[in-house]
Chains A and B, each alone.
Chain A
Amino acid sequence: MGAAISFIYLIAAITYIVGLKMLGNPKSARKGNLIAAGGMGIAILGTIFLYDKKVDTTIHILIWTAIILGSIAGWMVAKKVEMTKMPELVSMFNGMGGASAALIGIIEFQIHTNSLNNTIVIIAGVIIGSISLSGSLVAWAKLNGNMKSIIRLPKYNLINNLVVLSVLAVGFYIIWSGSSNPAFMYLLFLLALIYGVLFVIPIGGADMPVVISLLNSLTGIAAAFTGFLFDNMVMLAGGILVGSAGLILTFAMCDAMNRPLSNVIFGAFGQPDADLTQGSSKSEGTIKKTTPSDAAIMMNYANRVIIVPGYGLAVAQAQHVIHELELLLESKGVEVKYAIHPVAGRMPGHMNVLLAETNVDYDKLIEMDDINPLFQNTDAVLVVGANDVVNPAAHNDPASPIYGMPILEVEKAKSIIINKRSMNPGYAGIQNELFYNQKTSMLFGDAKDVLTKLVHELKNM
C-alpha cells in the first residue's frame, strides 16, 4: 500500500474519533458529524484513486455506478423520512452495512483462502454481518408495525440452540476441512441469517433501540474483521471504534431504563405468556372520561401545567398543535413545562428531536430528574400519547416487566389528564393503573384532534 493512501487512512481514522467525540456535545454535534462524514469521503475517494494495481475500466464504471446509485438512494430516503420514522430507518441502514460485510466475506472466500487466519476472519465477518442484517430487518419490521411486538415460538430455546450449534458446526467444518467450496459459505450465511431473526424476534418492541445499538456495534465489528482481512487500518480502527462505542451506548441506554442488558435480551425467554396481561389485579376499576372543554377549563385555571409527550403525540403529528397550546396557555399566565423521559418515543432522546422540530423553547424541556420534584406543586398534567413512562407499576409492582424503570411521577400532581386513542395497553403491552386513579380523567381521541379542540376551547375562554 502506498504512503499517500496510508496517510489518508490515518487522517480518516482521526476524523472518526474527533467526530464521534464532538457528537457527544450538543454544541459541536453537527460539526462532528460533518467531520466524520468528510473523513469517510476522503477514505472512499483515496481507496479508488490511489489503488496501486492496474484495474479494468469496466470495474471502475461499475464501482462508480454503485456509489452513485447507493448515494442517491440513501440521500433521498434520509431527507424524506419523517422524524417519527427515524429509529426504523437507522435500523435499516445498519442492516445494509451488515449485508455489505457479509457479501464481502462471501466473495473473498471464493478468491482468497490462502491462510487459516484469513478463513477464520472471513467466517467471523460473514456470521456477524449476517446476524446484523437479519436482526436489523426484524427490528425495522417491529418498529414500523409490520411485525408483532413480541413473538413467542413454540420450542424457541431448542430451535435457537440448534441454529447456534449449526452455525458453529459449519464454521468449524470449513476451518477444519480447509474446503473452499462456496456452498458451505452460503449455508453459513443462511444459518447466521436465521440466527439473527431468532435473536431479535422474542425481544419486545420497546427494547428495539437497545437492540439496534447492539446490532450497530456488531456491524462495526464485522467491518473490523474485513479490515483485518485486507490489512486495512481505517476499516480496522473505524470498525473497532464503532463496535466499542456502540456497546457502551447500548449499556448507557439500558442504564436510562434501569435494566441490565441481559434482562433486555434474555428477559423474554421462557416467560409464561401471562405477562402480556400484566397487572390485572390492580388495574380493575372505573375510568373517568372527560371532554375537551372540561379539560380546557382545568388547564386555564391552573398555575402550572406539565405536558408529558409520548410517541403517540408524534404518530399523530401533533407536535405543532401542542406548541400552539403551550403558547396559548402561557399567554393566559399559566406556566407550562414539558416533562421529557429519557426513553420517551422510540429511541432515547427521540422526543427532544421531535419537539425541537417545532421550535419549542429549549428551557421548557425538562429532564426527568429535574421535573419529578415539581409534580406535587402542579395543578394539571397533560399526558399525550405516553404510557409506559408514567406507569406507576414501575415503582410498586415487582412482577411488572418495567419494574425498576425510573418514571415520571405524574400521580403526585393535583389532577391528571390523559389523552389516548383507546384503552389498549401501551407499546410494552402492560396495563397502567394510572388510568384508574381518582385524579385521572381520560380524554380519548387522536392526539391532533383532541389538542386542536383544546386550543379552540381555550381561545374562546
Chain B
Amino acid sequence: MMTEFINFFNENLQMIYIVVLMIFVGVEVIGHVPAVLHTPLMSGANALSGVVIIGAILVMLDTEPENILALALGFVAIVLGILNVVGGFVVTDRMLEMFKKRK
C-alpha cells in the first residue's frame, strides 16, 4: 500500500503541484471581493467550470466510430458542456453590462 502511494505520488508529482498551487490561487483571487460582485463572479466561475467540455471533446475524438453508445453519450456531454460555457459567459456579460451603464 505504501509503495503504491509513493509510486502514485512520484508519477503524478506535476499534477499534485498544480492542484496545490491552484487551490491557493483560487483563494487569493476571490478574497476581498465586494458583495456587489458576488453574483457575476459566481456566474463567471460557473462558466469556467464548463472547462469539462474539453474532456467531452477528447472522449469523442478518442472513440471508435462503431461505438455508437459512447458517441451518443459524448455528443450529449458536449452539448451540455458547451451550454454551460456559452450560456455562462453570456449571462455574466449581460449582468456586467448593466453595472457599466450607470456611469
Contacts and interface: CB of A to CB of B under 8 A. Distances in A.
A62 B71 contact: yes
Contact of A242 (B45, B63, B96): B45
B57 A63 contact: yes
A33 interface: yes
B36 to A, nearest CB: 5
A101 B55 CA distance: 8
A223 interface: yes
Contacts of B50: 40, 93, 96-97, 100, 223
Given A75-B87, A78-B94, A96-B84, A228 B15 contact: yes
Contacts of B80: 70, 96-97, 99-100, 103
Contacts, number: 362
Given A78-B91, A235-B54, A252 B82 contact: no
A187 interface: no
Nearest to A92: B87
Interface in B46-91: 46-63, 65, 67, 69-71, 73-91
A202 to B, nearest CB: 22
Interface size class of A (residues with CB under 8 A): 35 or more
Main secondary structure, interface of A, reads: helix
A415 interface: no
Given A26-B36, A349-B38, A81 B26 contact: no
A385 to B, nearest CB: 18
Of A17, A55, A356, the most chain B CB neighbours within 10 A belong to A356
B22 A249 contact: no
Main secondary structure, interface of B, reads: helix
Interface stretch (A139-147, A212-220, A278-286, A445-453): A212-220
Contacts of B51: 16, 40, 43, 223, 227, 234-235, 238-239, 242
Contacts of B53: 44, 100
Contacts of A361: 102
Interface of B: 8, 12, 15, 18-19, 22-27, 29-63, 65, 67, 69-71, 73-103
In the A-B complex, the 5 residue pairs with the smallest Cβ-Cβ separation, listed nearest first, are A244-B26, A74-B87, A70-B82, A74-B86, A78-B90
14 contacts: A20-B26, A40-B47, A59-B60, A74-B84, A86-B39, A86-B95, A100-B84, A107-B70, A212-B42, A220-B48, A235-B55, A252-B38, A349-B36, A353-B39
Given A33-B44, A103-B73, 5 more contacts: A36-B89, A78-B90, A100-B53, A104-B55, A353-B98
